[in-house]
C-alpha cells in the first residue's frame, strides 16, 4: 500500500457568492502520479492555489506527511516541499534574467544567502540542473530569448531543482514537442520511483495514458470520481468529469466554396521546400505537425508578423503582402495566437476590453468610443461561446484558463473576416470546452477561410474538413478528413512516411 503524502479533508473555498470548492476530500500518495481532470471552472486551479499557498481555505484541513500543512504564501509551501509549475509559463520564469539565474533563483532568495553573487558558482550549479533534465542550453542566455517550449522546460527544471515532496504540474506538455514531452515523462518516472507525490493536471489522453497511476475527476467544485483499478477506465473518468457521457463528434463535412487564399511557392526559411497551397471559403483546414514543424511560422507569415524567404501570396485574386498585423487585419486576415499569456490576454483589461481591443475604430464615431456597442459585442460573444463569468466587466484574470481561451477565440469571431487563423485554439481547455469552441468555429465558417493549427490528432479530427501535415517547414501530407488513414497521418507527423506514400487531394 502506498503511503499518503497529502491528505485533504473537507476543503471549501468561496469568492463572494461563488462556491468554488465544495468539501474536497483527496489523498495524494507518495510514489504515484495522480492525474486531475476537470472541465473549465471545475475548481482545479483554485484547489492547486490553496495547496500551494496562494489562497487560504474557508474550511477543511490539509496534512503533509501526517503533519498539519497551512501555507500562507507560495514561498512557505515551497519551503515545505510543495512545488508547482503553473500553466502560465510567465509564472515560472523571469524573462529578464538568464537561464542560470532562473534555475538558481530560489536558492539565491533563501535566508542567509550571500549578498554577493558568485556567477561562476551559480552557472556551474545551473549546468548540473540542466544536465539532470537533459537540457542542452547555454545557461548564460536570457530567458526572454527562448521559445515558449524552452521556457516551459526551464520552469519545469527550476521546479525539479527544489527537490519537491509534492510536485504539481498544470498542463506541462501544452507547449512541448513529442521528444520534449517524453523527456519530461522519463524524469517524472524517476521522481515517482524516488517517492515523490505528483499531481498532474491534463486533458491530453496521450499524456494520461503514458503516466497516470490513478485519475481523479472533478466537477463543480467536487470530486466526482477516483479511478485507480487497472487498467484505468479513461472513458468513465471523462464521463465523471462532464457529468454525462461524451458522444463522438459527428462532423458535417463542408464542400469547399470559392478559392480565396493562395500560397505560391512560399519558403518559410531559406533552404526549406516551398509550400504551394490553396484555401477555399466555407471549409476548415487543420494544419498539424510537431512543435517546430513550421505551423506557427506559417501563421506569422499570414498575419504579417514575419516575411517568407520567397514566394508570393494571393488573397481574393490580389497580391497579399502584409507588412504588419495592422495591415493584415485591414485586409481581413485575423490571427488568434498560440501563447495566450504573452501574446493575447491583456491582464489589465476586463472581458469587454479584451474582446474589442483590435477593433476599437469600428466602435467609434468622431473619435468617441461607443461603450454600448462594445458591451453588445461582448455580451454576444459571452453567450455564443458559453464563457463562464459574472458579467462582461469581469477582469480577464478572474476567469479560468479555458474561459480566457474562449475570450481570445471569441475576440476574432466577433468580426467578419476573409481568413481566420487559429494557432492552437484548444490549448489548456478541457474536452467539453474544446468541442464548444470547435463547434462555434465550424458554425461560422461561411464566407471565410478557416485555418486551425493543432498538434493533437484528436483535436484535428474533430474540427477539420481537410488536413495538412507539416514538418521541416514544408508540407509532408495532404488529406481529406473522411475515411482517413490515421496511421499514415501519424507517420507523416513523426517524419516516418516516405514521399511516395503521401496522399495528395
Residues 206 and 281 in one domain: no
Closest CA to 328 of 419, 445, 424, 444: 419
Give domain status of residue 72, yes or no: yes
Q: Write out the DSSP string of 188-244.
A: HHHHHHTT-EEEEE---HHHHHHH-SEEEEEETTEEEEEE-SSSP-HHHHHHHHHTS
Q: Verify that 315 and 222 share a domain, yes or no.
A: no
Q: Tell me, yes or no, whether 78 and 216 share the same domain.
A: yes
Location of C-alpha cell 481523479: 216
Same domain as 307, residue 206: no
Q: What is the pLDDT of residue 49?
A: 92
Question: Residue 499's pLDDT is what?
Answer: 39
**437: in domain:** yes
Phi then psi for residue 93, to 5 deg, are -135, 160
Same domain, yes or no, for 275 and 210?
Answer: no
What's the whole-model pTM score? 0.63
User: Is 254 domain-assigned?
Assistant: no
Same domain, yes or no: 215 and 127: yes
Residues 215 and 294 in one domain: no
Residue 42 lies in a domain: yes
Last residue of a domain, one of 189, 210, 242: 242
pLDDT at 120: 84
Residue that is last in its domain, among 197, 217, 242: 242
- Residues 165, 288: one domain? no
Tell me, yes or no, whether 472 lies in a domain.
yes
Question: At which of 210, 242, 274 does a domain end?
Answer: 242
pLDDT, tens digit, for every residue of 444-463?
999 999 999 998 887 888 89
- Whether residue 140 is contained in a domain is answered as yes
CA-to-CA dists, residue 446 to 94, 213, 354, 416, 461, angstroms: 43, 45, 25, 10, 20
Alpha-carbon distance 182 to 207, whole Å? 9
Question: How many C-beta atoms surround the C-beta of residue 347 within 10 A?
Answer: 10
Q: ∠ CA(194), CA(197), CA(200), 5° rounding?
A: 120
Q: Show the domain range for 320.
A: 259-501
Looking at the structure, do residues 10 and 109 belong to the same domain, yes or no? yes
Output the pLDDT for position 203.
76
**Residues 469-491: tens digit of each pLDDT:** 998 899 999 999 988 888 788 88
Residue 160 and residue 268 in one domain: no
Q: What is the CA radius of gyration of the chain?
A: 23
CATH number (domain holding residue 102): 3.40.50.300
472 backbone dihedrals φ, ψ, rounded to 5°: 55, 35
pLDDT of residue 128: 86
Residue-level pLDDT at 248: 56
| Number of neighbouring beta carbons within 10 Å of residue 379 | 15
Domain assignment present for residue 249? The answer is: no
Identify whether residues 227 and 299 lie together within a single domain.
no
Number of domains in the chain: 2
- pLDDT profile of the chain (505 residues), mean per 10: 86 86 94 89 88 93 94 90 79 82 73 60 85 82 82 82 87 76 85 92 84 92 92 85 64 83 95 94 92 89 95 96 94 87 75 89 78 90 88 87 86 93 85 84 93 87 93 93 84 64 39
What's the pLDDT score for residue 1? 55
269 and 151 part of one domain: no
Query: What is the C-alpha to C-alpha distance for residues 498 and 500, in angstroms, rounded to an integer?
Result: 6
Give pLDDT, residue 162: 79
Taken in order 300, 303, 305, 311, the sign of the CA dihedral is positive
Per-residue model confidence (pLDDT) at position 202: 85
Q: Residue 282 is placed in which grid cell?
A: 466555407
What pLDDT, on a 0 to 100 scale, did the predictor assign at position 502?
A: 40
Does residue 250 sit within a domain? no
Amino acid at each position: 500500500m502506498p503511503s499518503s503524502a497529502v491528505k485533504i479533508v473537507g476543503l471549501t473555498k468561496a469568492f463572494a457568492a461563488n462556491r468554488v470548492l465544495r468539501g474536497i476530500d483527496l489523498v495524494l500518495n507518495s510514489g504515484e502520479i495522480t492525474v486531475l481532470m476537470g472541465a473549465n471552472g471545475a475548481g482545479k486551479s483554485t484547489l492547486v492555489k490553496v495547496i500551494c499557498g496562494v489562497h487560504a481555505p474557508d474550511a477543511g484541513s490539509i496534512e503533509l506527511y501526517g503533519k498539519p500543512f497551512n501555507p500562507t504564501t507560495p514561498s512557505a509551501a515551497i519551503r515545505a516541499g510543495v512545488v508547482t509549475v503553473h500553466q502560465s509559463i510567465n509564472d515560472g520564469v523571469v524573462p529578464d534574467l538568464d537561464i542560470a539565474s532562473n534555475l538558481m533563483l530560489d536558492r539565491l532568495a533563501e535566508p542567509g544567502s550571500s549578498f554577493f553573487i558568485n556567477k561562476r558558482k551559480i552557472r556551474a550549479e545551473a549546468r548540473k540542473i540542466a544536465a539532470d533534465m537533459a537540457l542542452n542550453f547555454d545557461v548564460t542566455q536570457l530567458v526572454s530569448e527562448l521559445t515558449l517550449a524552452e521556457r516551459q522546460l526551464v520552469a519545469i527544471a527550476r521546479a525539479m531543482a527544489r527537490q519537491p515532496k509534492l510536485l504539481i504540474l498544470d498542463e506541462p506538455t501544452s507547449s512541448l514537442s513529442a521528444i520534449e514531452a517524453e523527456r519530461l515523462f522519463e524524469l517524472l518516472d524517476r521522481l515517482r520511483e524516488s517517492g515523490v507525490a505528483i499531481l498532474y493536471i491534463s486533458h491530453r489522453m496521450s499524456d494520461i495514458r503514458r503516466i497516470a497511476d490513478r485519475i481523479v475527476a472533478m466537477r463543480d467544485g467536487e470530486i466526482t470520481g477516483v479511478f485507480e483499478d487497472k487498467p484505468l477506465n479513461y472513458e468513465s473518468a471523462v464521463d465523471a468529469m462532464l457529468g454525462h457521457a461524451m458522444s463522438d463528434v459527428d462532423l458535417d463535412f463542408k464542400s469547399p466554396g470559392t478559392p480565396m487564399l493562395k500560397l505560391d511557392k512560399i519558403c518559410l526559411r531559406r533552404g526549406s521546400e516551398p509550400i504551394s497551397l490553396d484555401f477555399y471559403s466555407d471549409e476548415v483546414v487543420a494544419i498539424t505537425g510537431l512543435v517546430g514543424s513550421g505551423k506557427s511560422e506559417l501563421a506569422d507569415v499570414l498575419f504579417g508578423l514575419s516575411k517568407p524567404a520567397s514566394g508570393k501570396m494571393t488573397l481574393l485574386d490580389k497580391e497579399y503582402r502584409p507588412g504588419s498585423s495592422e495591415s493584415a487585419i485591414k485586409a481581413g486576415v485575423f490571427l488568434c495566437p498560440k501563447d495566450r499569456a504573452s501574446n493575447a490576454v491583456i491582464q489589465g483589461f476586463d472581458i469587454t476590453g479584451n474582446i474589442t481591443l483590435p477593433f476599437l475604430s469600428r466602435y467609434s464615431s468622431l473619435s468617441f468610443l461607443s461603450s454600448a456597442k462594445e458591451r453588445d459585442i461582448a455580451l454576444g460573444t459571452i453567450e455564443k461561446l458559453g464563457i463562464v463569468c459574472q458579467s462582461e466587466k469581469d477582469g480577464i484574470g478572474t476567469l479560468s484558463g479555458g474561459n480566457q481561451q474562449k475570450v481570445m477565440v471569441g475576440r476574432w469571431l466577433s468580426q467578419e473576416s476573409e481568413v481566420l487563423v487559429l494557432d492552437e485554439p484548444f490549448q489548456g481547455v478541457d474536452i467539453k470546452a474544446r468541442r464548444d469552441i470547435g463547434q462555434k468555429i465550424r458554425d461560422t465558417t461561411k464566407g471565410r477561410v478557416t485555418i486551425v493549427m493543432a498538434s493533437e490528432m484528436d483535436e484535428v479530427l474533430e474540427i477539420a474538413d481537410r488536413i495538412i501535415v507539416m514538418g521541416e517547414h514544408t508540407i509532408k501530407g495532404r488529406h481529406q478528413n473522411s475515411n482517413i488513414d490515421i496511421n499514415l497521418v501519424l507517420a507523416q507527423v513523426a517524419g516516418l512516411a516516405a514521399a511516395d506514400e503521401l496522399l495528395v487531394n
